[in-house]
Structure 1
Amino acid sequence: MTIWILLALVALAALLPLALALWRPRAARGRREADMALYRAQLTELDREREAGRLDEAGHRAARLEVQRRLIAAADQSEALATTARGGGAVLLLVPMMIAAGLGLYLLRGTPGMPSATYAERAAVMARDEQILAMLRARLEALDPQSPQARQGWILLGNAERGRGRSEAAIAAWRRAIEAHFDASLAAEIAELEIERGAPAEATPWIARALTEVPNDPRLRFLAGLVEVESGRPANARALWQALLTDTPADAPWRGMLERRLNALP
């Protein structure tokens, strides 16, 4: 009986931090907030580019659809966090019930003698996933590299590689997509990933090229400043972000984020 009491205490100790975090939720901020703000700003900038005649109707419509897709995805993530926060009190009440249910289920159906997955089994799963991606690469290689199907396939492959934490493979796939058709938003994705992996110098050409197509894009201008920060040039970052702040409308939802980043510079 003593062992079960100890197990219950261990389970309670493991779940207590989660319960406390949900009981006192904090507003979701950070990259998701910045993404949503920048995507909204991109929509406004696309409308300006079309009105100025620098973007045709078809290109404007396609670009808006892509930005709206990303905005909806970011909003869904934020709503999920908000829903979790609102349910914090209920979760706190359910913690003891979760512990009791878990112990009861374990007593009825538990198999403590079952060994964990072996290294060979885990390696087999990884090998299977890699085989699937290899098949996708082979099929993409067989397509016309300039075709829309190949371009979309490379984008999806890059997304999959990024999801697996393989930055270099993701960038390589996205490069193939850009070879078919340059896309400033995809170039921004590559630049952001280069910055994340600690290679700001590699991000610079992508940002520069994308800015030639959409010179007032706030996301690209923000990333340009971020490159300077990561390269140890805060004065340059301040100049770039200050210029961006000057061009930012007073009611822009991402203005506060930009001001905070400016104030955080040394």
Structure 2
Amino acid sequence: MTWLLAAALALAALLPLAWTLWRPAPVQDRGAADRALYRAQIAELERDRSMGRLDEAAHAAALLEVQRRMLAVPEPRPARSGGRAPLVAGLVFVPALAFGLYVLNGVPGMPSATFAERSDAAARDERLLAQLRARLTAMPPGSPAARQGWLLMADAQRNRGKPAEAAAAYVEILRGGFDPEIAAQLAQVLIESRQFDQAIAFLADALPLAPGHVGLRFLSGLAEAQAGRPEQARAAWTALLASAPEDAPWKTMVQRRMEALP
């Protein structure tokens, strides 16, 4: 069944190329469009003269200019033979190469992972993270090793779609000392998990420690907006824009956010 599906997909991909070889489009020279345009202009000049829009002198001058341009269009060149050779080579060589590579390296009979196998892998990851958590808890909170370990824990939990566990890891990092970047990550995780009140309360405590941090100030407005308080969000972002440098690259994004507020 796998081979039949692969062959069908390959055939569907190569059909346009085969159709081009079977029914090639008529060859047109580059000046055909120009000549058609000039003929249309001559016909329009004749209509304008017959309707009295152009007198004889103006008509003659315009007609002469159009005819001069038409004469300047190069004559069509005969089509060169052999243009289909690359298409034929592609139609034959590409499928053959793909088939050969798949025969050498592909494993068409490999079954997909079962639910039990995926469950076992998830349980194994959970055990490893639990072991890492136990080791990190025993380390001094402010040590570089603990900080790096909790960062890995937070990234792993966010990738697994567990924002609560990621937030707990960021909290452990902040126990070793305030870091506005980590604080911004924690606030973002709280917002992503729709814990808007917790995010607003946390940002209220974090902003006095880093009043000029753009990320924290933006997230403060974002949390208010997500919580359904557009006026508070507008006030936070207005203050952020008022203190922003003229060439700040994020100003447009904040302005668009403000415009989207109800």
Alignment TM class, shorter chain as reference: 0.5 to 0.7
Judged with a 3 Å threshold, the aligned counterparts in structure 2 of structure 1 residues 260 and 12 are, in CA distance, closer, same or farther, namely farther
* 1:172 Cα deviation from its structure 2 partner: 0.8
Judged with a 3 Å threshold, the aligned counterparts in structure 2 of structure 1 residues 208 and 9 are, in CA distance, closer, same or farther, namely farther
* 1:256 Cα deviation from its structure 2 partner: 1.5
Cα pair 2:200 2:224 within 8 Å, conserved = no
Amino acid in structure 1 at the alignment position of 2:125 = D
Judged with a 3 Å threshold, the aligned counterparts in structure 2 of structure 1 residues 132 and 100 are, in CA distance, closer, same or farther, namely farther
Does structure 1 residue 209 correspond to structure 2 residue 211? no
CA distance, structure 1, for counterparts of residue 151 and residue 109 of structure 2: 45
Matches within 5 A, 1:188-227: 188-227=184-223
Matches within 5 A, 1:1-266: 5-9=7-11, 101-107=97-103, 110-266=106-262
Cα pair 2:180 2:213 within 8 Å, conserved = no
CA distance, structure 2, for counterparts of residue 217 and residue 165 of structure 1: 27
Judged with a 3 Å threshold, the aligned counterparts in structure 2 of structure 1 residues 98 and 128 are, in CA distance, closer, same or farther, namely farther
CA distance, structure 2, for counterparts of residue 137 and residue 128 of structure 1: 14
* 1:234 Cα deviation from its structure 2 partner: 1.3
* 1:144 Cα deviation from its structure 2 partner: 2.7
CA distance, structure 2, for counterparts of residue 253 and residue 10 of structure 1: 45
Q: After superposition, give the CA deviation of every residue in 1:62-117 in whole Å (9 maximum; x if it has no partner).
A: xxxxxxxxxxxxxxxxxxxxxxxxxxxxxxxx9x9987654443355555443222
Cα pair 1:158 1:169 within 8 Å, conserved = yes
Larger Rg: 2
Amino acid in structure 2 at the alignment position of 1:207 = L
Structure 1 window deviating more from structure 2 (149-158 vs 105-114): it is 105-114
Q: TM-score, normalised on structure 1?
A: 0.60
List runs of 5+ in structure 1 lacking aligned partners: 14-93
Judged with a 3 Å threshold, the aligned counterparts in structure 2 of structure 1 residues 240 and 145 are, in CA distance, closer, same or farther, namely closer
Structure 1 window deviating more from structure 2 (98-107 vs 230-239): it is 98-107
Specify the SS of the correspondent of 1:229.
Answer: helix
Specify the SS of the correspondent of 2:123.
Answer: helix
Amino acid in structure 2 at the alignment position of 1:197 = S
Cα pair 1:140 1:150 within 8 Å, conserved = yes
Aligned length: 185
CA distance, structure 2, for counterparts of residue 169 and residue 98 of structure 1: 49
* 1:10 Cα deviation from its structure 2 partner: 6.0
Specify the SS of the correspondent of 1:143.
Answer: coil
Amino acid in structure 2 at the alignment position of 1:253 = P
CA distance, structure 1, for counterparts of residue 230 and residue 14 of structure 2: 46
Cα pair 1:188 1:206 within 8 Å, conserved = no
Amino acid in structure 1 at the alignment position of 2:208 = T
Judged with a 3 Å threshold, the aligned counterparts in structure 2 of structure 1 residues 242 and 109 are, in CA distance, closer, same or farther, namely closer
Cα pair 1:11 1:99 within 8 Å, conserved = no
Judged with a 3 Å threshold, the aligned counterparts in structure 2 of structure 1 residues 97 and 250 are, in CA distance, closer, same or farther, namely farther
Cα pair 1:204 1:224 within 8 Å, conserved = yes
Identity between Structure 1 and Structure 2 (%)? 48
Q: TM-score, normalised on structure 2?
A: 0.61
Amino acid in structure 1 at the alignment position of 2:238 = Q
* 1:164 Cα deviation from its structure 2 partner: 2.1
Judged with a 3 Å threshold, the aligned counterparts in structure 2 of structure 1 residues 242 and 225 are, in CA distance, closer, same or farther, namely same
Question: Considering only aligned residues, what root-mean-square deviation do their CA atoms show, in Å?
Answer: 3.0
* 1:141 Cα deviation from its structure 2 partner: 2.0
Judged with a 3 Å threshold, the aligned counterparts in structure 2 of structure 1 residues 142 and 200 are, in CA distance, closer, same or farther, namely same
Q: After superposition, give the CA deviation of every residue in 1:240-259 in whole Å (9 maximum; x if it has no partner).
A: 11121111121111111112
Amino acid in structure 1 at the alignment position of 2:141 = P
